[in-house]
């Protein structure tokens, strides 16, 4: 059985780390959506954009 390990991450520049995480998450989402058939991809991107706009409008995103 695998032993749990403790991981400590030193983040001296939180803004830079946030940008890297944002890019990583965007790459994962893009990769998953691009595996869909074209018509489903278009709908998935449309839904994603609308949800992001709604979140920004409601103030759910912090800068």
Query: Residue 1 has what pLDDT?
Result: 76
| Relative orientation angle of helices 14-33 and 38-58, to the nearest 10 degrees | 150
Query: Residue 49 has what pLDDT?
Result: 94
Per-residue HEC secondary structure of the chain comes to: CCCCCCCCCCCCCHHHHHHHHHHHHHHHHHHHHCCCCHHHHHHHHHHHHHHHHHHHHHCCCCC
Query: Residue 27 has what pLDDT?
Result: 96
Query: Residue 60 has what pLDDT?
Result: 65
Query: Residue 58 has what pLDDT?
Result: 84
Mean pLDDT by 10 residues, the chain (63 residues): 89 90 94 95 95 86 57
Name, in order, each residue with C-beta under 8 angstroms of 48's C-beta and a sequence gap of 6 or more.
29, 33
Is the pTM here over 0.85, yes or no? no
């Amino acid at each position: 059985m695998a032993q749990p390990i403790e991981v400590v991450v030193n983040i001296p520049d939180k803004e830079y780390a946030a940008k890297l995480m944002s890019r990583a998450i965007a790459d994962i989402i893009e990769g998953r959506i691009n595996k869909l058939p074209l018509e489903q991809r278009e709908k998935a991107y449309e839904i994603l954009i609308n949800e992001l706009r709604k979140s920004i409008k409601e103030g759910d995103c912090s800068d």
